[in-house]
Amino acid sequence: MNIVIPSDATGRRIICDGEFGTVHYVGNVPPTPGLWLGIEWDNPVRGKHDGTHEGTKYFTCSHPTGGSFIRPKKANFGVDFVTALRKRYGLKIDQNEELKLNKLRDISVRECTVSHAGEKGEIKQICPNIITADLSKNLFSSWENLADIACQLNNLKSLDLSENKLHLSANPSSLADSFLNLKVLSLKHTGLSWEELLNCASMWPALEELHLTSNDIQLLERPVDNLQNLVTLDISNNKLVDGNQLHALAYLPRLKQVILSNNSVSSVSFPDVEFGHKTSMFPSLNSLSIDGNNISQWSVINELNKLVHLQSLNCRGNPFMDQEKNPETVRQLIIAKIENLKFLNKTEILPKERRGAELDYRKMFGSDWLKATESHTGELKNRSRDFLIDHPRYSALIDKYGAIDEGELKQQQPFALKNQLLTLTIRCPEKPDQKPIQKKLPDSMTVQKVKGLLYRLLKVPGSLAIKLSYESSKMEGKEIELENDLKALQFYSLENGDCMLVRW
């Protein structure tokens, strides 16, 4: 039986007994007669040596046990694109089936041992209308192989090449015409470094979405003449440690989404501006995912507020998230620290939640703010600066909600029934016929329970929503909304003699 070995076998990808590998040698291996293929396996456990046999070096492996020799008849060099497509979709070679192929828009030939385009022009003739193609985990060995396919698919916009190992092209820009309309590209588990990626990037002039998950990327360099149309970049599950590596991406003009999850980044900073100012970096970024990193400092959240358009943040699985016992407190702190955030960990931030978080934050650090702004020593400026470095949004919250008052920061009095009961005047400003009512309420009573009491007391129909606020005897002319139903009256610093306002 004659075994036909491709003329370009060296460098080709093969599969043998379910294992993928690359041919590095074709020839004799004395003293055993016959032709052999020297293979470097993707899985080094499958191999036996580093390409050396009985003292002779036949090829080089990146792993000391990654190589072995096999007979050519055991190697599967793959099939052409159309053959794989027909097999995957159960189509035969006749006129009716060709019409079905012609209608295909979204296709997947994942793990179909595709290695080349096939007959020249065949793809364009039989299935030219493909828009989305999953070619992951196949036997492509070069970008030229892929360009031969893509150049026949003028409508191709999305391409998944994950789990292929491709030789870099000597002249990538010469292949750009084949990928002119490509918008989305997945290169997960391909072993590409960032440097190699930039070397390839001139092939994809219109690319908007790039997925590079699990490629052992450790360093980033600034794209200069390519990737300028990029909108989404996924570099999750890589080996980035230094958050300043992100500066290499900072001036991509259209970049809106960065997925940096499951790296080892411990800090992120934008040193072009000080606290309280907006950075010129990432001018379009509105979505950032930093789940599963090593961020332990709240200063990183302060830095993220420098981003002009950041609206969505995912940050679960970082050490700083565990510094507070209550996860709800962590959420409130993040919301208060990043002013434009609309989604946190994939949950929408409603206006009511933002207001509550900012008011809680304002009160939580009110004592520290008052101490920092006391003017009886010459250290005022430095103390204020130190406070604002840790809480750069605090001044904006003071402007938004008013200066913090010592009355709002009073400590809860010792436990005693007389200290727990508040004598309040309940008034309905929009119901002039309703006379004011004086009522004693526990200061531990939640706003929600107070509303329940007032529904009965004032005979408010259950179909109407009650809104509560109060006027303090110590802050004349100022009305404070009781907007969080789960908070107790003591949280809002109500005191004896205060007037509770009820509207519905």
- pLDDT tens, 364-416? 999 888 888 876 555 556 778 889 999 999 999 999 998 887 666 655 444 44
Query: Is residue 401 domain-shared with residue 435, that is, in the same domain?
Result: no
Does residue 428 lie within any of the structural domains? Answer: yes
Domain count, the chain: 3
CB count, 10 Å around CB of 472?
20
CA torsion through residues 329, 334, 340, 345, sign: negative
Residues 424 and 403 in one domain: no
CA 430/CA 371 separation, integer angstroms: 40
Same domain? 70 vs 22: yes
Quickly tell me which residue has 């985990």 as its tokens: 137
Same domain, 405 and 425: no
389 with 438, same domain: the answer is: no
Distance (Å, whole) CA 47 – CA 454: 78
Q: Which strands, in side-by-side order, build the sheet including 421-427?
A: 437-442, 421-427, 499-503, 467-471, 479-481
**Within a domain: 84:** no
Q: Are residues 373 and 392 in the same domain?
A: yes
Domain that holds residue 389: 359-409
Co-location of 423 and 488 in the same domain: yes
226 CB-near residues (< 8 Å, 6+ apart) = 198, 201, 202, 204, 205
Asked if 221 and 199 count as a contact pair (C-beta separation under 8 A), the reply is no
Q: By the 8 A CB rule, do 183 and 204 touch?
A: no
**Hunting for tokens 């916009």 — which residue is that?**
157
Retrieve residue 260's tokens.
Answer: 């940096």
**Contact yes or no for 426/491 (Cβ under 8 A):** no
Among 351, 384, 409, give the residue marking a domain's end: 409
Q: Which of 47, 74, 101 is the last residue of a domain?
A: 74
378 lies in the same domain as 431: no
DSSP codes joined into one string, 395-435: HHHHHHH----GGGGPPPPPS-HHHHEEEEEEE-TT-TTS-
**Which DSSP string corresponds to 94-106?**
SHHHHHHHHH--E
In a domain, 219, yes or no: no
pLDDT at position 95, please? 55
Rounded to whole angstroms, the Cα distance separating 361 from 336 reads 6
In the chain, which stretches have pLDDT less than 50? 1, 412-418
Q: CA 185, 191, 193, 196 torsion: positive or negative? A: negative
Beta-bridged to residue 69, according to DSSP, are: 38
- N- to C-terminal Cα separation, the chain: 91
Asked if residue 33 is part of any domain, the answer here is yes
Residue 492 lies in a domain: yes
* Segment 143-158, tens digit of pLDDT: 999 999 999 999 999 9
**Domain membership flag for residue 170:** no
Residue 470 and residue 426 share a domain: yes
CATH number, domain containing residue 491: 3.10.20.90
What pLDDT is attached to residue 255?
98
How confident is the model over 327-376, as pLDDT tens digits?
888 999 999 999 999 999 999 999 989 999 999 999 999 988 888 887 65
Cα–Cα dist 227/206, whole Å: 8
Same structural domain for residues 425 and 404? no
- What angle, 0 to 180 degrees and rounded to 10, lies between the N-to-C axes of helices 327-337 and 351-364? 90
- Pair 435, 487 in one domain: yes
Kindly state whether residue 24 falls inside one of the protein's structural domains. Answer: yes
Q: DSSP letter at 366?
A: H
- Among 446, 339, 343, which residue's Cα sits nearest to residue 396? 339
pLDDT at 418: 44
Question: How does DSSP assign 240-293, residue by residue?
Answer: ---GGGGGGGTT-TT--EEE--SS-------TTS-TTS--SSSTT--EEE-TTS
For the record, the structure tokens of 215 come out as 């490629």
Give the residue among 102, 232, 99 at the shortest CA–CA distance from 158: 232
- Tell me whether residue 256 is in a domain: no
Tell whether 425 and 489 lie within a shared domain.
yes
Instruction: Look at residues 52, 74, 96 and tell me which one is the last residue of a structural domain.
Output: 74
- Residue 49: give its domain's CATH number: 2.30.30.190
Angle formed by the axes of helices 380-390 and 394-401, to 10°? 90
C-alpha radius of gyration, the chain, whole number: 33
Task: Give the CA distances from residue 73 to residues 11, 79, 413, 503, in Å, rounded to whole numbers and listed in that order.
Answer: 17, 15, 87, 85
